[in-house]
């Protein structure tokens, strides 16, 4: 009945919408803090469970701890958004706080060491990912329910700023807590989660009515299976295989990617036949919805993996050249990346407010064009850049993605009927979350191709000139580029780690000191890294330009108006 629509409008009280915004902002902040605090504390975590993160056998654990959370979230958000439409978005969101907090507590209490401890951490991180997916799938829908159409861009902008700000605060928090114990990196989430649980159960309420439906089991299974196979295959593509620096020739990788694509094709066929599909393909008939999701995916691809590249540039080259020890570089890399956060904090809410009035198109399109410009400017920087220039480019990049993010999300959510907001939010989050592991796979592949062309020869000459035997120099110079990239990323001195005490003890003290100095490795890898970075940045520019075209194709300002047909469907 049309009275349902009127009741929905009546319950959008001025007070409640701010309660919903503050609670969902806390949820996004908690999830973002957890993700980046873990990255910065990985060396301490691995030492705490007695695993060398740079040994070949440990690389799989490293990949799964870093990317397992993203994979699980990407697979589940659509399903959990659909369940929010069926059983209540607030109910699913509240459950997300509980699951995430329990996962954090379990990770902090990990009892085993070695491989068993690593597996426990991976499993508990996946439990957290289920909670994170519940929060992510339903938070945008809760905000869209609570806020009137002329304020949704602002609300979603503030919500996403908390995620962006939390990702950088997490670096500082992780660096600080890791000095005491790796367990605190997980444990500090527990009191935040408890506050969120109590607050959400007491303050949040269901605004939109439930939409009982049958669960599309076959659709859920085929989607989860196909997407998981595809993303796992892409993730393992950057793992060395045999004598190759990457795993794209690994039969398992090829099989997983091919099978994943086939199962996803089967999923698309199934969803067109079932009466109540999980992935509502009819939403793609809405131009604003389709264009916004394509732009969101491409923006995630253009930005996601590049963050890792820039952090490695800082940690592996720039910071050591400026006197920082490798052990200090993870924390300081986060600090030196703060201009991106500042740009996002400035542009996010402002563009959200303006998009409420003028629509998403000019801001989302302009944001992607500005992002492409920032990546182009980054290509012009020398390896040992002046920081002021780097900071200005990071600020421009933050402004660009702040301009894009909240208007694009608001444009997607405004384009669908109220009864589809949960699944629409989940579909939007899926495109965004798929973009991150896809981006990491692409960017690492392009970077490793660039490094593999020139690093082996340079490293071999450097080692032999300083007294390392030809056999050892040949072996070390042909190690996969991932080895020294992740060494720098985790705050280890790459040459000191790769050579080890047994080789260093046989060298002249002056040669050993020279090889393991803060400046030596950056001088060897600097130009090859820049060559690979130009390739990566070129790809990012292309992704952003295509995202700009998709954003422009969404059309002018569009907000779905609830009709009598919509209310009867409710």
Tell me: do 230 and 93 sit in the same domain. no
Tell me: do 355 and 302 sit in the same domain. yes
Q: Distance (Å, rounded) from C-alpha 560 to C-alpha 416?
A: 6
**Residue range of the domain that includes 507:** 452-529
Q: Distance (Å, rounded) from C-alpha 348 to C-alpha 55?
A: 41
Most confident of 31-35, 322-326, 377-381, 527-531: 377-381
Is the pLDDT reported for residue 101 higher than 90? yes
- CA-wise closest residue to 425 among 159, 216, 213, 222: 159
27-78 pLDDT, tens digit each: 888 877 776 677 777 777 887 888 876 666 677 787 788 778 878 887 888 7
- Which 3 state secondary structure label does DSSP give 489? helix
Tell me: do 389 and 521 sit in the same domain. no
278-306 pLDDT, tens digit each: 677 788 888 889 999 999 999 988 887 77
Q: At 241, phi and psi to the nearest 5? A: -135, 115
Q: Distance (Å, rounded) from C-alpha 299 to C-alpha 442?
A: 14
Q: Distance (Å, rounded) from C-alpha 295 to C-alpha 551?
A: 6
Tell me: do 236 and 312 sit in the same domain. no
Q: In this prediction, what percent of the chain has a pLDDT beyond 90?
A: 19
Tell me: do 475 and 334 sit in the same domain. no
- According to the model, what pLDDT value does residue 558 have? 64
Query: How far is CA 73 from each of CA 128, 280, 374, 426, 429, rounded to the nearest angstrom?
Result: 9, 19, 29, 10, 9
Residue 181 binned pLDDT confidence (cut-offs 50, 70, 90)? confident
Residue 205 binned pLDDT confidence (cut-offs 50, 70, 90)? confident
Q: Distance (Å, rounded) from C-alpha 207 to C-alpha 154?
A: 20
Residue 257 binned pLDDT confidence (cut-offs 50, 70, 90)? very high
Question: What is the average pLDDT across 4-10?
Answer: 42
Question: What is the average pLDDT across 353-362?
Answer: 85
Angle at 391 between CA 385 and CA 392, to 5 degrees: 105
Tell me: do 70 and 118 sit in the same domain. yes
Query: How far is CA 306 from each of CA 274, 313, 438, 458, 459, rounded to the nearest angstrom?
Result: 39, 10, 12, 25, 25
Query: How far is CA 371 from each of CA 16, 376, 397, 404, 468, rounded to the nearest angstrom?
Result: 35, 9, 5, 9, 45
- When the pLDDT of each residue in the chain is averaged and rounded to a whole number, the result is 82
Tokens linked to 523 = 């001088």
- According to the model, what pLDDT value does residue 65 have? 81
The half-sphere exposure of 400 on its side-chain side, counting CA atoms within 13 A, is 25
- Which 3 state secondary structure label does DSSP give 179? coil
Tell me: do 239 and 166 sit in the same domain. no
The half-sphere exposure of 514 on its side-chain side, counting CA atoms within 13 A, is 13
Tell me: do 229 and 343 sit in the same domain. no
Question: What is the average pLDDT across 352-370?
Answer: 89
- Ramachandran quadrant class, 181 (left: phi over 0; alpha: psi -120 to 50; beta: rest): beta
Domains held by the chain: number: 3
Query: How far is CA 325 from each of CA 485, 488, 494, 519, rounded to the nearest angstrom?
Result: 16, 11, 12, 10
Which of the listed residues 226, 247, 277 is the one where a domain comes to its end?
277
Residue 211 binned pLDDT confidence (cut-offs 50, 70, 90)? low
């Amino acid at each position: 009945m049309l009275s349902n629509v009127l009741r929905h409008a009546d319950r959008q009280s001025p007070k409640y919408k701010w309660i919903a915004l503050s609670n969902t902002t806390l949820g996004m902040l908690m999830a973002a803090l957890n993700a980046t605090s873990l990255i910065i504390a990985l060396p301490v975590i691995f030492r705490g469970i007695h695993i060398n993160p740079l040994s070949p056998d440990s690389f799989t654990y490293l990949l799964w701890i870093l990317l397992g959370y993203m994979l699980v979230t990407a697979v589940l958000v659509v399903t959990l958004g659909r369940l929010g439409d069926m059983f209540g978005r607030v109910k699913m969101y509240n459950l997300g706080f509980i699951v995430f907090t329990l996962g954090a507590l379990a990770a902090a209490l990990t009892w085993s060491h070695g491989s068993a401890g690593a597996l426990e951490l991976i499993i508990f991180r996946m439990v957290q990912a289920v909670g994170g997916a519940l929060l992510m799938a339903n938070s945008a829908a809760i905000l869209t329910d609570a806020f009137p159409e002329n304020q949704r861009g602002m609300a979603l902008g503030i919500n996403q700023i908390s995620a962006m700000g939390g990702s950088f605060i997490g670096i500082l928090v992780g660096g600080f807590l890791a000095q005491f114990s790796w367990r605190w990196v997980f444990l500090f989430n527990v009191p935040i989660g408890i506050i969120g649980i109590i607050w959400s159960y007491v303050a949040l309420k269901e605004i939109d009515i439930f939409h009982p439906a049958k669960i599309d089991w076959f659709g859920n299974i085929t989607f989860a299976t196909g997407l998981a196979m595809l993303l796992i295959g892409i993730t393992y593509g950057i793992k060395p295989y045999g004598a190759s620096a990457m795993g794209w020739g690994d039969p398992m990788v090829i099989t997983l990617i091919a099978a994943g694509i086939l199962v996803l094709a089967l999923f698309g066929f199934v969803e067109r036949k079932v009466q109540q599909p999980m992935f509502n393909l009819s939403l793609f008939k809405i131009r604003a919805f389709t264009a916004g999701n394509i732009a969101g995916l491409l923006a995630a691809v253009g930005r996601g993996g590049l963050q890792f590249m820039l952090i490695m540039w800082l940690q592996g080259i720039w910071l050591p050249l400026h006197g920082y020890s490798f052990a200090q570089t993870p924390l300081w890399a986060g600090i030196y990346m703060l201009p991106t956060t500042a740009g996002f904090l400035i542009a996010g809410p402002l563009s959200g407010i303006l998009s409420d009035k003028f629509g998403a198109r000019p801001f989302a399109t302009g944001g992607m064009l500005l992002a492409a410009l920032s990546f182009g400017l980054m290509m012009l920087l020398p390896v040992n850049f002046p920081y002021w220039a780097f900071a200005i480019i990071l600020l421009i990049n933050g402004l660009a993605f702040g301009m894009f993010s909240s208007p694009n999300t608001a444009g997607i959510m405004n384009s669908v009927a109220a009864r589809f907001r949960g699944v629409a939010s989940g579909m939007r989050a899926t495109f965004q979350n798929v973009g991150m592991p896809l981006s990491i796979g692409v960017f690492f592949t392009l970077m490793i191709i660039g490094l593999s062309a020139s690093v082996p020869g340079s490293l071999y000459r450097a080692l032999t000139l300083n007294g390392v035997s030809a056999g050892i120099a040949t072996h070390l110079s042909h190690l996969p580029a991932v080895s020294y990239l992740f060494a720098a990323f985790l705050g280890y001195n790459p040459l000191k780690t790769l050579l080890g005490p047994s080789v260093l003890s046989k060298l002249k003290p002056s040669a050993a000191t020279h090889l393991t100095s803060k400046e030596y490795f950056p001088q060897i890898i600097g130009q090859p890294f820049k060559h690979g970075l130009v390739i990566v940045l070129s790809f990012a520019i292309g992704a952003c330009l295509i995202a700009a075209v998709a954003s422009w194709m969404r059309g002018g300002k569009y907000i779905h108006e609830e009709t009598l047909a919509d209310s009867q469907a409710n």
